[in-house]
Amino acid sequence: MLEWIQGLDGNILLFIQEHIRQPWMDGFWKAVTHLGDAGLFWIGLAVVLLIFKKTRKAGFAALIALGIGALITNVAVKNIVARVRPYEVLPELVRIIEKQHDFSFPSGHTCASFAAACALYHALPRRWGIPCLVLAALISFSRLYVGVHYPSDVLAGALIGIFAGWAGWKLSQKIAAALHLNRTA
């Protein structure tokens, strides 16, 4: 089963490289992929949301979600699975960004993007939450386009991120409720 998934993953990446990747789009997808670097865009957005009272809970939820996602993905699963990057396995795959220095599975960019976006989707009005989810999907696809992740890495990162986003939102609600109870006591 693992060999079949690995083969399918490789074929999808090579299809993207051969039929979707175009020189005129490379700059756009490189910029999109770098929005996910170290989760900095999402961390910055969460910090900005913390400034305003109306969006403070959303920013708090996003930060908690990012923390949960990072612990699961970057601290635990990446090091347990230790999957090498696709460009190290598929000689015909050409990466178009710098070499990555951690393991491939699951995608940290995808996890962080979906963790923050899902937390914000729950905590903000839909007119703000939906664009966050669209950006998370774009960042996720960009990891395939630039050749640094397998599709299954991105899928796993998205699933972990969705869970982390939900958990961050729920945990932020519980913390906010507990803090509110302490103020009235």
Ramachandran sector of residue 52 (left: φ over 0; alpha: ψ -120 to 50; beta: rest) = beta
User: What does R_g of the chain's alpha carbons equal in angstroms?
Assistant: 18
Question: DSSP label at 146?
Answer: T
d(CA 16, CA 175): 43
What integer pLDDT is reported at residue 185 of this predicted model?
Answer: 47
CB-based burial, 48-57: b 16+ in 10 Å, e otherwise: ebbeeeebeb
State the helix-helix crossing angle for 56-70 and 40-51, rounded to 10 degrees. 150
Q: Give the tokens for residue 69.
A: 């996602």
pTM of the predicted structure, to 2 decimals: 0.93
Helices (H), the chain: 2-15, 23-35, 40-51, 56-70, 78-81, 86-89, 108-123, 126-145, 151-184
What integer pLDDT is reported at residue 181 of this predicted model?
Answer: 62
What integer pLDDT is reported at residue 6 of this predicted model?
Answer: 85
Residue 69 identity (one-letter amino acid):
G
Give how far the C-alpha of residue 6 lies from the chain's centroid of Cα atoms, to the nearest Å.
21
What integer pLDDT is reported at residue 179 of this predicted model?
Answer: 83
d(CA 83, CA 73): 13
What integer pLDDT is reported at residue 71 of this predicted model?
Answer: 98
Domain boundaries along the sequence of the chain = 45-184
Per-residue pLDDT of the chain (185 residues; tens, 9 = 90+): 778 888 899 999 999 999 999 999 999 999 999 999 999 999 999 999 999 999 999 999 999 999 999 999 999 999 999 999 999 999 999 999 999 999 999 999 999 999 999 999 999 999 999 999 999 999 999 999 999 999 999 999 999 999 999 999 999 999 988 887 655 44
What integer pLDDT is reported at residue 119 of this predicted model?
Answer: 98
Reference 92, options 41, 25, 17, 155; nearest CA is: 17
Q: Residue 21 belongs to what H/E stretch?
A: none
